Chain A
Amino acid sequence: MASSATAWSWDVAAKALDTVDEPYEEEHGGDITVEQFGRSNMKDKFRSRVLSGSGAPAVATMESVDAAAWVDTGGLRDIGDWIDDAGIRDEFVSGKWGPLTKDGGTYALPWDVGPVAAFYRNDVADEHGLDMDGIETWDEFIAEGEKLPDDVAMLNLPPNDYDGVWRMMFRQLGGLPFTDSGAVNINSEKSLRVARQMKEAHDAGITSSVASWSSEWFSRASEGTITTILSGAWLEGTLKSEVGDTAGKWRVMRPPAYESGGNRATNWGGSNLIIADQVSEAKARRGWDYMQFALGTKEQQVTMYEEYGLFPAYKPAYESDVFDQGSEFLGGQAAGRLFAEIAPNIPTYKYTTDTPEITKAINSEFDRMINGQISPKEAVDTAAQQVADRTGRDLA
């Protein structure tokens, strides 16, 4: 094993890896350097260096959504044997592995998941007499939303990210964008259900249309004119840092189901750690040793969750009583436990190198659908046809 290795990451993830640095070096020796980048800079730089076969770090962060494209470069190391030797494969939530495996190889170790919750403004709900606890299905969600005045939206459908909303809701139904044989499947019955549900919410007049992460989006979240935000567990950290003045006014609940008794678990976001194929055996082993320590131990995953809100994909971590502690920001609610209950039930999903095409097609067609130019059926059919045309795949 090499004495040193470098890890690349961005933003909060890099800071989280930094907290693991010291305990790792104390217990295992070696010297790990964590380099922090801006997210898009790191992705461009890493991909270029992987493609050129030199200059990549031993360890790097990879979002699940990028997994197919990155694995496809052939520049990532298959670490499946190491994962199996360590016997930790089953200790991660099953929904994570889909995008990370290809042709029997496993190319990443799962880090965090984004169990989806509806983050809602409890004060706004109280003020207008909404019964949030009584909501189980979308129909009930819309009915409660109709109690709000016109200038207060129940839900925001971001025009820059229809595909994000669609993907999350589609996954909740267990939908897959491609069939096993690789045919385009975004015109399936499940996808159509999602489109109809989004359209129905919009037509009921309970939605706003603000670009997510924009300044306006944050200011509306802060003033309480967007009541509910469907997002991954990590949103709590973002809200804390951006609209800290609303602390204590937020709560979380499971996302609405399509029908009574339906699945209420899905995912938005999440990352993994990978090893570049080009690094020496010795460096790779050091990198793996560090990864296993950071992601495959209860203690470190819990630390990263506590400090930076990265929700572990590592199930044994959920035993920690950290998840039962009330969050001050969420008015004392033990949101961690709710997320820990959601995480194991997240259906698996498959990203491919053609995922960006789906993103483009869904965004443009759903925009037309929401604006009333085409029906939900036409929207998913046109989007599917567009993806099929552009990728040379068949329609399911």
Chain B
Amino acid sequence: MRNLSRDEAAWRFLGYTFVLLATLLMVVPIYWIVVASTLPEQAFLSAGTDIQLLPGSNFLANLDALQSRESVDFIQSIGNSVFIAVVYTLLSLVLCSMGGFAFAKYEFKFKEPIFYSILATLTLPIQLLVIPLFLMISQMGLSNSYWAIILPWAANPLGIFLMRQNMRQIPDALLESARIDGATEFQLYYRIALPTMKSSLAALAIVLFLFQWNLFLYPLVVLEQGKYTIPVAINELVGAQRVYYDQIMVAAALSIIPLFLVFLFLQRHFVSGILAGSVKE
């Protein structure tokens, strides 16, 4: 390690300070949710007079209060959310990467208009789609099923767009040489395109997972109690005259765990440079 000049050292110090501050900004709300979930409601709502920064011992009591509510089984809603988001993400990754591959590497009639009309659907707010989707789903006999939530956005336009952008980087020469070696078109997608796209797929997986995880109005309208996802279940805690913050904090703290695990699992795949050396120019 060479000695840094004073300027460089100063810049480096500033850089680290900034990153540290940014990290704190990110972590503090989450930390506070976790702490709040372990305190009695009055303790963390005492209007800033004495901010509690250390966890208390009320977590189980708050959890009991949460689980004793008649209208919603929160633990079950975590299961519902995880199942829906995982299945959705896997299915959507397959569909988006196939779509992206087709738009990136094949020529066909009306390719551009079709692509841009898919992209245009991004401008439709979900609120606008809820009622028509609910009608379609009920007529298909799927209402109050997990599939009712998984299917509508399975071919996510944003996902198709992102995959197309990334798959354009795959050298045509690579695909051509594979064709000459006798690979089928599906093998090109599966054996060549997908492995080179690992880091993009991991990034997309997070986007898709979060999209599904945060859907609120649509699951609320389509699902019945017992199948509720986390956001809908949390909103059950907003009463006519009172908001049960202690229970909401427990619910929020618990609902962070699956997200955290997903990030941990996908983090390893954020490796760039996978394309390096896959082709000799």
Which of A36, A52, A213, A242 is within 8 Å of B71, CB to CB?
A: A36
Q: Is B73 an interface residue (CB 8 A)?
A: no
Given A44-B220, A55-B143, A215-B41: A38 touches B239 (CB 8 Å cut-off)? yes
Cβ–Cβ contact A35 & B239, under 8 A: no
Q: Give the interface centre of A13, A55, A238 by most chain B CB atoms within 10 Å.
A: A55
0 or 1 for each of A187-231: is its CB under 8 Å from B? (1 = yes)? 000000000000000000000000001011001000000000000
Contact between B221 and A10, CB atoms less than 8 A apart: no
Instruction: Collect the chain B residues with CB atoms within 8 Å of residue A51's CB.
Output: 131
> On chain B, which size bracket covers the interface?
20 to 34
Indicate the member of B143, B236, B237, B245 with the most A CB atoms within 10 Å: B236
Q: Is the CB of A38 within 8 A of B47?
A: no
Name the contact of A48 in the complex, choosing from B41, B134, B225 (C-beta under 8 A). B134
- State the Cβ distance, A63 to closest chain B Cβ, in Å: 9
Q: Which residues of A contact B72 (CB under 8 A)?
A: 38
Please determine whether B221 and A38 come into contact, CB atoms closer than 8 angstroms.
Answer: no
The 0/1 profile, CB within 8 Å of B marked 1, for residues 254-277 of chain A is 000000000000000000000000
A53 to B221 Cα, complex, angstroms: 12
- Contact flags (1/0) for A43-82 with B, using CB distance below 8 Å? 0110011011111000000000000000000000000000
Contacts of A14 in B (CB 8 A): 71
* Binary CB contact string for chain B from 131 to 159 against chain A (1 if under 8 A, 0 otherwise): 11011001000010000000000000000
Q: Is the CB of A213 within 8 A of B235?
A: no
What residues of B have a CB within 8 angstroms of the CB of A238 in the complex? 241-242
A3 contacts chain B at the CB level, 8 A cutoff: no
Bound complex: CA A11 to CA B236 (Å) = 10
Contact of A37 among B71, B132, B134, B217 (CB under 8 A): B71
**Contact among A44, A216, A219 for B217, CB-based, below 8 A:** A44
A38 with B238: in contact, given A44-B221, A52-B135, A55-B134 (CB under 8 Å)? yes
Q: Give residues of chain A (221-250) contacting chain B, Cβ–Cβ below 8 Å.
A: 238, 242
Q: Quick one: CB contact mask for B225-248 with A, threshold 8 Å, 1 for yes?
A: 100000010011111111101000
Q: Is B42 an interface residue (CB 8 A)?
A: yes
Question: How many angstroms between the C-alpha atoms of A37 and B239 in the bound complex?
Answer: 9
Is B102 located at the chain interface by the 8 A CB criterion? no
Task: Identify which of residues 13-55 in chain B touch chain A, using a CB-to-CB cut-off of 8 Å.
Answer: 41-42, 45-47
B242, A55: Cβ atoms closer than 8 Å: no
- The smallest beta-carbon distance between B34 and chain A, in angstroms, is 20
- Tell me the nearest residue of chain A to B134, going by C-beta: A52
Are A215 and B241 CB-contacts (below 8 A) given A37-B71, A41-B220, A44-B217?
A: no
Q: Does A135 contact B (CB under 8 A)?
A: no
Interchain nearest-CB distance for B43 vs A (Å): 10
- B239-A39 in contact (CB<8A): yes
Q: Return the contact of B237 from the options A38, A45, A54 (Cβ within 8 A).
A: A38
**A55-B71 in contact (CB<8A):** no
Contact status B135-A213, CB under 8 Å: no
One of A12, A35, A49, A242 near B221 (C-beta < 8 A): A49
Is the CB–CB distance between A36 and B46 below 8 Å?
no
Name the prevailing secondary structure of the A interface residues: helix
Q: Knowing A55-B134, A215-B45 are in contact, say whether A37-B236 is a contact too (CB < 8 A).
A: yes
Instruction: Confirm or deny: A181 has a beta carbon within 8 angstroms of a beta carbon on chain B.
Output: no
Interface size on A, residues (CB 8 A): 27
Closest to B223 in A: A45
B236:A242 contact, CB within 8 angstroms: no
Which residue of B is nearest A14, CB measured? B71
Q: How far is the CB of B235 from chain A (nearest CB, A)?
A: 5
**B172 sits at the interface (CB 8 A):** no
A102 to chain B, nearest CB (A): 23
Bound CA–CA A37/B224 (angstroms): 10
* Residues of chain A contacted by B134 (CB below 8 angstroms): 48-49, 52, 54-55
Q: How many Å lie between the Cα of A238 and that of B46 in the bound state?
A: 20
Taking the nearest CB of chain A, how far is it from the CB of B95, in angstroms? 26
Contacts of B135 in A (CB 8 A): 52-54
Q: Which of A17-53 contact B (CB under 8 A)?
A: 35-41, 44-45, 48-49, 51-53
A36 to B143, CA, bound (A): 20
Give A324 to B45 CA distance when docked, in angstroms: 38
Distance in Å from the Cβ of A218 to the closest Cβ of chain B? Answer: 9
Closest to B144 in A: A55
Q: Could you tell me if A52 and B240 are in contact, using CB atoms closer than 8 angstroms?
A: no
In the complex the two chains form, is A38's CB within 8 Å of B71's CB? yes
Are B221 and A40 in touch, CB under 8 angstroms?
no
- Residues of B within 8 Å of A44, CB to CB, are 217, 220-221
Q: Kindly list chain A residues whose C-beta atoms are within 8 Å of the C-beta of B242.
A: 213, 238, 242
For B217, give the chain A residue with the smallest CB separation. A44
**Once the chains are docked, how many angstroms separate the CA of A45 from the CA of B242?**
20
Asked whether, in the complex, the Cβ of A40 is within 8 Å of the Cβ of B131, the reply is no
Say if the beta carbon of B118 comes within 8 Å of chain A: no
Could you give 16 example pairs across A and B, Cβ below 8 Å? A11-B240, A38-B72, A38-B235, A38-B237, A40-B235, A41-B220, A48-B134, A48-B220, A53-B135, A54-B138, A55-B138, A55-B143, A213-B243, A219-B42, A238-B242, A242-B242
Given A215-B46, A219-B42; 11 other pairs, CB 8 A cutoff: A10-B239, A12-B240, A36-B70, A38-B237, A40-B235, A48-B134, A48-B221, A55-B134, A215-B42, A216-B47, A242-B242
Chain A interfacial positions (CB closer than 8 Å to B): 10-14, 35-41, 44-45, 48-49, 51-55, 213, 215-216, 219, 238, 242
List 3 A-B pairs, minimum CB-CB distance, nearest first.
A215-B45, A38-B236, A48-B221
